[in-house]
Amino acid sequence: MNTEKTEKFQSVLYLNGVTKSFDGFKAINNLSLDVSPGELRAIIGPNGAGKSTMMDIITGKTKPDKGEVRFKDNIDLTRHDEADIANMGIGRKFQKPTVIDSLTVWDNLDLALAGNRGIWQTLVFKLSSNQCERIEEIISLIGLSEKTEALAKNLSHGQKQWLEIGMLIIQEPEVLLVDEPAGGMTDYETMETAKLLKDIAKNHSVIVVEHDMDFVRALDCTVTVLHEGSVLAEGSLEKVSADPRVIEVYLGR
């Protein structure tokens, strides 16, 4: 095996020289990113830096104009569509929860576990004991053990977000992308979310975009600062927040 290939195998996600323009404006400009298996990575940067567009490119929602976007065993993600990429094991959590309000916490997870089984079969057929255990495991992970039979509509905003994260994790993605999870959460929920993502990162790679600096500090992981579609700085939060360029474009505002 040549060394170049060995190196690529060590990344779960690898972006190199990625560029994407919208009407001539470079939302992503020669962007590179390298995420290891099992890594927790925070992405910060001012509004319009290209954070969400980067996630759109990874998940196949947006095709880059040029550059490499690779997933683990050298899979070229630019050749796959959104549904394929989700099935390959890249899960994405959007800001707006998509849980079904009229179902319980348990039934929402059951549906998510079912995946292709479909809603009708899911509600009619009995779960195996393995499946029940898996749902219970996830409910405990997301801290909703007391809420198993609660309807999703009666959960707090934060609890709904955790349920949604649980619904993604139950499908066992290798990589979880989370865009601004702390928006609208209380301080307590924000800190619990940081703990949850740290727990999840024990078994998955997690990339999380967030503005809340207390949250990013609690994640205690490598931080990538995006600015004008490129990486401006990368390293510990301590290191990047001492970088004069980061202070100038982001933190100092």
Identify which of 54, 89, 55 has the alpha carbon closest to the alpha carbon of residue 71. Answer: 89
In the complex, the smallest distance separating the C-beta of residue 43 from ligand ADP, rounded to whole angstroms, is 8
Based on CB atoms, which residue is closest to ligand ADP, 170 or 208? 208
- Taking the CA atoms of 192, 247, 242 and 221 in sequence, report the sign of the dihedral they define: positive
Among the listed ranges 12-20, 48-56, 104-112, 130-138, the one in contact with Mg ion (CB under 5 A) is 48-56
> What is the residue whose two structure tokens read 């001492």?
242
Question: Residue 4 contacts by C-beta under 8 Å, 6 or more apart in sequence?
Answer: none
> Smallest gap, in angstroms, from Cβ of residue 108 to Mg ion?
25
Could you tell me the smallest distance in angstroms from the CB atom of residue 50 to Mg ion? 8
Rounded Cα distance between 39 and 220, Å, is: 11
CB of 234 to ligand ADP, least distance (A): 16
53 interface partner picked from Mg ion, ligand ADP, none, CB below 5 to 8 A per type:
ligand ADP
Q: Under the criterion CB under 6 A, does residue 216 sit at the interface with ligand ADP?
A: no
Do the beta carbons of residue 34 and residue 56 sit within 8 Å? no
Question: Which partner in ligand ADP, Mg ion, none is near 47 (CB below 5 to 8 A by kind)?
Answer: ligand ADP
What is the pairing mode between strands 222-227 and 40-44?
parallel
Pair type for strands 205-209 and 90-93 = unpaired
Nearer to Mg ion, 141 or 177 (CB): 177
Q: Does 129 bind ligand ADP (CB under 6 A)?
A: no
User: Taking CB within 5 to 8 Å according to partner kind, which of ligand ADP, Mg ion, none is near residue 125?
Assistant: none
Q: Which two tokens stand for residue 243?
A: 């970088």
52 binding Mg ion? (CB under 5 A) = yes
Measured from each CB, the residue nearest to Mg ion is 52
β-strand pairing of 66-71 with 75-76: antiparallel
Of 200 and 226, the one with the shorter C-beta distance to Mg ion is: 226
Output the CA angle 168-172-177, nearest 5 degrees: 50
Q: Which residues partner with 43 through β-bridges?
A: 209, 224
Stretch that binds Mg ion, among 50-58, 68-76, 100-108, 133-141 (CB under 5 A): 50-58
Say whether residue 27 binds ligand ADP (CB under 6 A): yes
Q: How many whole angstroms separate alpha carbon 161 and alpha carbon 63?
A: 28
Is 158 a residue that touches ligand ADP (CB under 6 A)? no
CA–CA distances in Å: residue 134 to residues 11, 80, 139: 28, 29, 9
Footprint (CB under 6 A) of ligand ADP, residues 29-88: 45, 47-53
Residue 60 binding target from ligand ADP, Mg ion, none, CB below 5 to 8 Å by type: none
Question: Helix, strand, or coil here: 178?
Answer: strand
User: Which positions touch Mg ion (CB under 5 A)?
Assistant: 51-52
User: Which positions touch ligand ADP (CB under 6 A)?
Assistant: 22, 27, 45, 47-53
